[in-house]
Amino acid sequence: MAFGRLERTKGSEPMSDINVTPLVDVMLVLVVIFIITAPLLASSIRLDLPKTDAAKPGDPPKFVTVAVDKAGQAFFDDRPVTQAELGAALQDAARANPETEVQLRADQGVPYGRVVEVMGEAQKAGLNRIGFVAEAPAGAAPPTPAASN
């Protein structure tokens, strides 16, 4: 009689490989979420600022608009004003912020003398930064930088 072992079939061996596909899928979803939310979090910084009486509640506007129509009527921030009211409004703007810019919009039919009167009122008020607003002609291409050789 021979002693021997019975033949047994090998059982299932433990799997030593990791399936990385689900891991990669989850990581890619997390990367997309961080890409989308990171700019939103960076712009909304919550601060507890100290309190002081010297702090202003808000900066005054950096510019005011003065318009002159064909009839020579002046408008301060789209409100019709007389020459005296225009001077007073410009002085108030200068007191609030001496660096305020005056954006002057004048109809092309307005006499040059009327435009100079408005500019004089701004300069008397202490506002020396005056910008002239114009429109580009219809169908005009935006300016391109000159090519250098």
Least confident of 21-25, 85-89, 141-145: 141-145
Domain boundaries 63-132, CATH class: alpha beta
pLDDT at 29 over 90: yes
Least confident of 14-28, 58-72, 120-134: 58-72
Task: Give the tens place of pLDDT for each residue, 103-123.
Answer: 988 888 888 899 899 999 999
- CA-closest candidate to residue 120, choices 93, 94, 90: 90
Domain ranges of the chain: 63-132
**Residue 90 CB-density burial (10 A; 0-12 exposed, 13-18 middle, 19+ buried):** buried
Q: Which residues contact 124 (CB under 8 A, 6 or more apart)?
A: 87, 90
Question: Who has greater pLDDT, 145 or 21?
Answer: 21
pLDDT at 48: 59
